[in-house]
Amino acid sequence: MSGWVVIAGLGPGAEALVTPEVRDALAEATDVVGYIPYVARVAERPGLTLHPSDNRVEIDRSRHALEMAAEGKRVVVVSSGDPGVFAMAAAVFEAVEAGPPAWRDLDIRVLPGITAMLAAAARAGAPLGHDFCAINLSDNLKPWALIEKRLRLAVEADFAMAFYNPRSKSRPEGFEKTLDILKDACGDNRPMIFARAVSTADEVIRVVPLQETTPEMADMRTMVLVGSSSTRVIERAGAPIVYTPRSVPE
């Protein structure tokens, strides 16, 4: 039987948010490749080999998956959320482009998942209801100067924003700089949403005015959403509703 590679998103955490398409691919797979905690979400069964690896070996992981597919294995490369959003799909295609020509003829498919940005937005209401952008705040693969430039331009364009990888133990200063930039550039007190561990038992959703935010409100399990200048907060008993209207006045 011909081998294949499926690059699949496991969603933000809850088993109910894994798509049927991804479940079917996992049921057919002979091998699953991915970052250690994501592979741990895949149930073991006879005939399935799990290949967990560290977080910073994406290209090695991709090559391994492609090599196994070339040998006739059915390989699922797993990511959390959606594999095309700051995840493994791009890494696999980087490996394809730089690898043996035969890899380009492999059966390679990308199966979408519910990314943390959308799961967090749904919990809060509809903060991404109009134009928005997503920015990865990690400077592991790009310089901080580029992140800062994109932040300032996003504020200038008045996008709502979604921040991935906001604050790690090894680089806590990045999110502090981000908040300083936002507080300086926005000129208002728009809402920010800190959505931690969305769809899991540890989920916490906080809505905080920009000027009252502090760096400690985020960690690597937190998705941070920033409203645009038109984003609204509907106060009510319990958690408020945050939404961005569908239209912008002329």
Domains and CATH numbers, the chain: 4-114 (3.40.1010.10), 117-243 (3.30.950.10)
Are the C-beta atoms of 191 and 227 separated by less than 8 Å?
yes
pLDDT at site 1: 55
In DSSP terms, 6 is beta-bridged to: 76, 109
In the DSSP assignment, the letter for residue 172 is T
Distance, CA of 103 to CA of 132 (rounded, Å): 35
- Rounded to two decimals, the pTM is 0.92
In the predicted model, residues of the chain with pLDDT beneath 50 are: none
pLDDT at site 76: 98
pLDDT at site 4: 98
Distance, CA of 127 to CA of 246 (rounded, Å): 10
